[in-house]
Structure 1
Amino acid sequence: MILPTATLPQIGDRITDKSVAPDDSAIREWVGPEAFGYWAELRNWIDEFYPGVFAPDWLYGGKNRGWSLRYKKTKAFCTLVPEYRRFSAVVVMGGAEREKFEERRCLWRPPLAALYDEARTYIDGKWLTVAVSSADDLRDVTELLTMKRPLPSHGNSTSRP
């Protein structure tokens, strides 16, 4: 018997059941244990270093984009996208952030610099979608976020998770 492949999730597929926003259990099952560890670590890092600043908000982007978790105050900080067996962090880099990125270009890891160069620039900035599958990827995201919004002065001075 041949199973139809359309029903089996593929790496990178999104959670598209709009009936209910996913909880931690659903995220863990969808992204897998390793990616969920990075997911939880990034969420904890945001909570620790930006206490009370953001109220994460689940957004449903339709059947193609599925669910995403947005961190925003007045401007978007980042959006976390649970995907099958991985997750991505979307960071929008406005003009000021792009200048800062260019000033530090030699300090970024080559894969992040390449991702930045390949990202299309829209009117509101470059939309970097960083797939998080290693501690290095997670560090890239936290450093981008720290560049985007400096850590509060009363918090810990390290940006590393």
Structure 2
Amino acid sequence: MIQHTAKLPQKGDRMIERSGPPDDAAVHEWIGPEAFGHWTKLRDWIDEFYPGVFVPDWLYGGKNRGWSLRYKKTRAFTTLVPEYRLLSALVVMGRAERERFEERRYVWRPQLVKLYDEAKTYVDGKWLTLGISSEDDLQDVVELLTMKRPPPPRQ
């Protein structure tokens, strides 16, 4: 998927081409091989630990927000945001999730606690956008998602 912009893309730019949701090849090209590795691991983890629970849904948020891949059942689970040479995951934490986070406050990595403390709290919860650029970042997202919604028992 080629971005039709007058300027070269900058790190963090969103995928804004409206012609249709990006496929894996376009995401790989846009976010780069390292971020795409995290993209694949996170999507595979969701598929493995939440089989049949979520049907990922591409959302187009306009020219400012671009494309994102949402995982939702009745409530949002996470939204993956492919940005130029970067991958982010959005996790909305409602009241119960914030209470569980606070109970484990000193177990989380300091970077995650700082991000949590600085995130704005809205009516529907605290919106955490986590950049995933390392295995530790990926593990933070997995642990947050597991805390938010424990995986169903394995058959």
Deviations 1:76-122 (A, max 9, x none): 00000000001100000000000000000000000000000000000
The aligned counterpart of 1:48 is 48
- Do structure 1's residue 142 and structure 2's residue 142 form an aligned pair? yes
| Other-structure match for 1:106 | 106
- 1:49-72 alpha-carbon deviations (Å, 9 max, x no partner): 000000000000000000000000
Deviation at 1:151, TM superposition (A): 1.5
> Aligned partners of 1:76 and 1:20: how far apart in 2?
22
Is 1:133 the counterpart of 2:104? The answer is: no
The equivalent of 1:115 in structure 2 is 115
Counterpart of 1:118, as a letter, is E
Matched residues in 1 for 2:6 and 2:58: separation? 26
Q: What TM-score comes out, normalization by structure 2 length?
A: 0.95
Residue 48 of structure 1, CA deviation: 0.2
Supply the AA of the counterpart residue of 2:22. P
What is the number of residues matched between the two proteins? 151
Question: 2: CA distance between counterparts of 1:6 and 1:89?
Answer: 27
Q: How far apart, in 2, do the equivalents of 1:103 and 1:6 lie?
A: 48
Which residue number corresponds to residue 14 of structure 2?
A: 14
TM-score of the pair, normalised by structure 1: 0.92
Counterpart Cα distance in 1 of 2:93 and 2:18 = 29
Distance 1:116 1:6 in 2: 36
- Distance (whole Å) between structure 2 residues aligned to residue 146 and residue 46 of structure 1: 10
Which runs of no fewer than 5 residues in structure 1 stay unpaired? 156-161
- Root-mean-square deviation (CA, aligned residues, Å) is 1.1
Matched ranges for 1:145-156 at <5 A: 145-154=145-154
Question: What letter matches 1:53 in structure 2?
Answer: V
The equivalent residue for 1:159 is none
d(CA) in 2 for partners of 1:24, 1:72:
20
Three-state SS of the structure 2 residue aligned to 1:37 is: helix
Shift in Å, 1:6: 5.4
Q: Per the alignment, in what secondary structure is the counterpart of residue 70 of structure 1?
A: strand
